[in-house]
Amino acid sequence: MWWLELVTTNEALDDTHMDVCFYYLRKLLRYGPGIKINATTTDFAFDSQVRGLYDDFLKDPLVLVKQTSLLSYPIGLYMPCNTSWREVDHVLMPLRMYNSAHWILCRFDNKEMCLNIYNSYTKIVKEPVVLEAVLPFSVMIPYLLFHTGFFEGKNIPEQEALKPLVVKMVPKLPQQKNDGDCGIYVIKYAEYFINEMLNEMPKIFNIAQVRKHLATQLYVYAKRKQVENYDTDNDWVPKDV
């Protein structure tokens, strides 16, 4: 079923699909030749932990200091191929909106201290709904950074450091036509950003082709890694799909 869901148009991707794809994007960011973007990613566990803690956090922000797994993300631990957020300029976050079961890409820019939101279904999933869904990340990420030493040596007052992140909606993105294709668009947005090709994205993705090519590359990677110990980290997804 996992592979069938991946290749079938309009089939929604689940958290395991997204985690696998964003794991390989992290490897591409770390080892890919010619990659100039300095970034890392998160996974679905980060998404679910932030959401799960948010209500308690609003009552007492200090509950965050006990969440060792959540605090591990900004210091470059918890996930394979993670990188400290102090060492990157961007963090790519696949988020599944709790209020619409819709995947979006959230890019944390730690130079501008803002969240850039990539939404592939703007005609259905409207901006107010998106803003509501990303509010926990806007509010809690500054505290995550503060408690993991991100601001040390930057001469930023604590009150300023802990301000909620500005949220920006990225305009004029290719838009999905089928309800279940949002995860594929999130992966493509991330890939094009990593390759510094956002301005070259087609207006419409050939989703059937994208899905099949993605599944093929993931399968080839897994088999070669298993059988030949072959490293396909740098070519798992083509730039021209």
Confidence (pTM): 0.90
pLDDT at 228: 61
Residue pair 119/138 in contact by the 8 Å Cβ criterion: no
Contacts of 194 (CB under 8 A, 6+ apart): 25, 28, 29, 32, 35, 37, 39, 92
pLDDT at 232: 44
pLDDT at 59: 97
Per-residue buried b or exposed e for 145-183, using 16+ beta carbons within 10 Å of the residue's own CB = bbbbebbeeeeeeeeeeeeebebeeeeebebbeeebbbb
Encode pLDDT of 136-187 as tens digits. 999 999 999 999 999 998 889 999 999 999 999 999 999 999 989 999 999 9
pLDDT at 61: 95
CA distances from 52 to 69, 101, 200 (A): 13, 16, 37
Which stretches in the chain have pLDDT values below 70? 225, 227-241
pLDDT at 239: 40
pLDDT at 187: 97
CATH number of 2-227: 3.40.395.10
pLDDT at 184: 96
Strands (E), 88-212: 90-97, 102-109, 114-118, 166-169
